[in-house]
Amino acid sequence: MKISNNWLKEYIKTDLKPEKTAEYLTDIGLEVEGTEKFENIKGGLEGIVVGKVLTCGKHPNADKLSITTVDVGGVTPLEIVCGAPNVTAGQTVPVAVVGTKIHTKDGGSFEIKEAKIRGEKSQGMICAEDELGLSNDHGGIMVLDGEKFKVGEPFANYFDIENDEVYEIGLTPNRTDAMSHYGVARDLNAFLVSNNLKSDFDKVVSQQITATGTSGFQLEVEDSEICPRYIAAVMNNITVKESPEWLKNRLKAIGLSPINNIVDITNYVLHSFGQPLHAFDADKIAGKKVKVGVNAEGTKFTTLDGAERTLNGSEIMIKDGDNQPMCIAGVFGGNHSGVSSSTISVFLESAYFNPVAVRKAAKYHGLNTDASFRFERGVDPNMTQTALTFAIKMMEELAGGTMVGELLEHYPKKMEDHYVILRFSKIEQLLGTKIHREKVKEILKALEINVLNDIPNGLEVSVPAYRVDVTREIDVIEEILRIYGYNKIDSPDKLSYTAVKMSFEDQAQLENSWAATLQGNGFNEVMNNSLTAVKDENEAVKLLNPLSNDLAFMRKSLLEGMLENAAYNINRKSADLKFFELGKIYHKRATYEERKQLALLVTGREKPENWLEQKSATDFYYLKGYVTLLLDLLNIETEERPAEDARFSECLEVVSGGKTIARLGKVAPKLLKDFDVDQDCFYAEIELENAQELRQKGTFKFADLPKFNKIRRDLALLLDKSVPYSELYAAASRNNSPYLKKINLFDVYEGKNLPEGKKSYAMSFELLNEQKTLEEKEIAEVMNSLIKDFQKEFGAELRG
């Protein structure tokens, strides 16, 4: 949010320089993220002087150029080449002398230098209005009134040059009290007063207004829950015209474009006091009646931007006597009822709308306005009338309007301040230091928090309604500390904490263990938003009040987010990736389901590019190696089987105890295309809750290194193509021999010299007896047993 230093001075008078003001604002939690200079006339017309054209003749080498001599109050006139069609002798004109910096529309600038133009000397420039930033007119040079403007005088003397310092303040959503210049000035004053610095703060009150006759308008609020307070006035004899310069400068300084005096007044009051106003053309309100309520679902409504919107039936609507919608309350006005250049009567609204209802309407229609930004966070209900009376006074002065009839108001139940009991002992306990009780009272007074009663060890206080986030004792203490100064709290000499040891039963211990393992193997952790957009809404959990259509659903899988991560990095020339994420996924089935998973994604090369290994692309087995590494830490028996999953072109499922532990495979090309990823990706997801439930508390066993050598024997088996290696491995693992230590597949062959429908597996087996060297007879018994099992279960044949 932008705050103008000159605007602040309308409410607070200090001797502070802008840089000191920025420092203090940051100290009290209104962090100044940046500052910028504002000039209503770029460059302030520095170097521009009033001159008089003495002579004007044609340029000998260019028909469209003129050679002039111009008196600018110096000893000798300046020779200036001018290309304007309207230049002539005797004119009084603004002149940029040599050394003047001219600011262009695109934000750039250039310096006027003495130069030769088509062979003729030129010692300056006669200026057009757009070159001075006074207008967009470039039809010719600016001709001045010779009686009013004196030759040789600085041109700036005839203008109100305004220079301002603008602060960009980063506000947290709870700081609605500071979403205006008045609110910021109020907070700054509290800080300055409590720190014995000079400050004079003008507290605003409602203006005295007078009305004539009766307006004939009626007000009806259908539900006080959605609109606790509504107040309005009718102004007649309005003249819609351009705003005065001072008002336009205020708005321009904070980045707003002036429109006309009526709209500019409502914007000025909004940014002054944080109270949004809305002006309707009173002559367009049917039946001279304004209703606050809802319209039926499906009602069509055209907003100020010309877009036709379909109402969902929950928006707070401002309606006319015929129940026709005129405005989405607190969000956006209607195209039909707005103020135009022909408006002569205005219905001016100031209200407090239900924050939740305003937020839902704004998000549903994808609108984010200055008004909704404040209404949905909660405005000051006691500022509605004050802001309205300020706007009435301004319309009387700047638009010639007169108020007719009394104020129309709906306020059946006053919105009370917050009652809080504040304990001095609690302040000392939380801050770790003692603040004098009188100092506490002084800060509370500066914050406009009223002390109702002194009680033993504390105070009874009343917190004004505009401090919507200050409702508890801890909130009041935070406000005291903010003004007292965080820097005044000394850091303790020592820190005390209680170390927490995670137990084996704690899932977080498993997650940390796996994360550390992956990080040690070169994986980077990613964290993605659990809110997303989905193409297939089947089983998707949809938000009732989404921030936007792109964040309308809870994610059903971690894969999509990781593909976005991959695409982002690949597009920035980082194509070799190893990611993991610990996150939750959500489904709507018979009931709502929420599961936590560990997801892995690999793509690109296994190792950095080098001369020795040109081709080392990641593949399914590369990923499976890491999944196996993690599952081995569970100390459980697992089984692998093929699975069907639309996200994968090839998918393997790992189960244990009848529960799915993991799924992994090659990401389907269609899904890669959807995310603009043009290289193969391999993805795995592990179900954390299932893994933790099946996890067995293992014990480490230590043994001496074997004194005897391992024996390796190989088998080449001819089998049907339908037989997977996993079944051979399982059959070999069931062998009763205590000597069989390791089983491995080291070659698979399909092709020439094999019968049709057959393939060859080459398997190795490691045998070891820790007590003695194995004899050939014992080795043969184990191998013959394996061969027999393979022949019986799979019809295997031995290859030579």
In this structure, what are the phi and psi dihedrals at residue 756, rounded to the nearest 5 degrees?
A: -60, 140
Query: How would residue 42 be classed by pLDDT, with cut points 50, 70 and 90?
Result: low
pLDDT at 615: 66
Distance CA 21, CA 188 (A): 8
Of residues 540 and 612, which shows the higher confidence score?
540
Query: How would residue 488 be classed by pLDDT, with cut points 50, 70 and 90?
Result: confident
Q: Which of 325-339, 535-549, 761-775 is least confident? A: 535-549
Three-class SS string for 221-240? ECCCCCCCEEEEEEEECCCC
Distance CA 603, CA 683 (A): 9
Which residues, including other chains, have CB under 8 Å from residue 353's CB and lie 6 or more apart? 226, 227, 316, 329, 330, 375
pLDDT at 127: 92
Which residues, including other chains, have CB under 8 Å from residue 619's CB and lie 6 or more apart? 680, 682
pLDDT at 273: 95
Helices (H) and strands (E) in the chain, counts: 18, 42
pLDDT at 565: 96
The DSSP code sequence of 431-494 is HSS---HHHHHHHHHHTT-EEEEEETTEEEEEE-TT-TT--SHHHHHHHHHHHH-GGGSPPPSS
pLDDT at residue 35 tops 70: yes
pLDDT at 502: 65
Proportion of the chain in helix, strand, coil states, percent, rounded to 5: 25, 30, 40
Most confident of 5-19, 163-177, 201-215, 620-634: 620-634
Whether 376 contacts 362, CB under 8 Å: yes
Which of 421, 416, 406, 507 is CA-nearest to residue 465?
A: 416
Length of the chain: 800
The DSSP code sequence of 641-700 is EE---TTEEEEEEEEETTEEEEEEEEEPHHHHHHTT--S-EEEEEEEHHHHHHH------
| CA-to-CA separations, 185 to 25, 163, 333, in angstroms, rounded | 10, 19, 30
Query: How would residue 332 be classed by pLDDT, with cut points 50, 70 and 90?
Result: very high
| CA-to-CA separations, 23 to 16, 84, 174, 431, in angstroms, rounded | 10, 49, 21, 23
Whole-number mean pLDDT of the chain? 91
| CA-to-CA separations, 658 to 177, 636, 638, in angstroms, rounded | 58, 12, 10
pLDDT in tens, 78-121: 999 999 999 999 999 999 999 998 887 777 788 999 999 999 99
pLDDT at 329: 96
| CA-to-CA separations, 110 to 14, 49, 67, 196, in angstroms, rounded | 37, 17, 22, 47
Distance CA 240, CA 697 (A): 80
pLDDT in tens, 704-748: 888 899 999 999 999 999 998 888 988 998 999 999 999 999 999
Three-class SS string for 333-345? EECCCCCCCCCCC
Angle at which helix 261-273 crosses helix 384-399, to 10 degrees, equals 150
pLDDT at residue 40 tops 80: no
Most confident of 158-172, 503-517, 557-571: 557-571
pLDDT at 17: 85
Distance CA 335, CA 308 (A): 10
pLDDT at residue 50 tops 80: yes
pLDDT in tens, 679-709: 999 999 999 999 998 886 655 567 788 889 9
* Beta strands at 524-525 and 577-588: parallel, antiparallel or unpaired: parallel
pLDDT in tens, 741-775: 999 999 999 888 888 889 999 999 999 998 899 99
Mean pLDDT of 655-678: 93
pLDDT at 433: 86
pLDDT in tens, 597-641: 999 999 999 888 777 776 688 999 999 999 999 998 888 888 888
Whether 32 contacts 168, CB under 8 Å: yes
Distance CA 723, CA 729 (A): 11
pLDDT at residue 43 tops 70: no
pLDDT in tens, 294-328: 999 999 999 999 999 999 999 999 999 999 999 99
Mean pLDDT of 8-25: 88
Mean pLDDT of 549-575: 93
Phi/psi zone of residue 134: left (φ > 0), alpha (ψ -120 to 50 degrees), beta? alpha
- The percentage of the chain sitting over the pLDDT mark of 70, rounded to a whole number, equals 98
pLDDT in tens, 397-451: 999 999 999 999 999 999 999 999 999 999 999 888 889 999 999 999 999 999 9
Mean pLDDT of 550-570: 94
pLDDT in tens, 157-182: 888 778 888 999 988 888 888 999 99
pLDDT at 624: 94
The DSSP code sequence of 501-535 is PPPTT-HHHHHHHHHHHHHHTT-EE----SEE--S
Q: What is the dihedral of CA 649, 650, 651, 652, to 10 degrees?
A: 180
Which of 418, 424, 419 is CA-nearest to residue 455?
A: 424
Query: How would residue 512 be classed by pLDDT, with cut points 50, 70 and 90?
Result: very high
Whether 754 contacts 760, CB under 8 Å: yes
Most confident of 40-54, 384-398, 634-648, 746-760: 384-398
pLDDT at 15: 80
pLDDT in tens, 773-789: 999 999 999 999 999 99
pLDDT at residue 541 tops 60: yes
Query: How would residue 504 be classed by pLDDT, with cut points 50, 70 and 90?
Result: low
pLDDT in tens, 115-148: 999 999 999 999 998 888 787 788 899 999 989 9
Measure CA of the first residue to CA of the last residue in the chain; give whole Å: 81
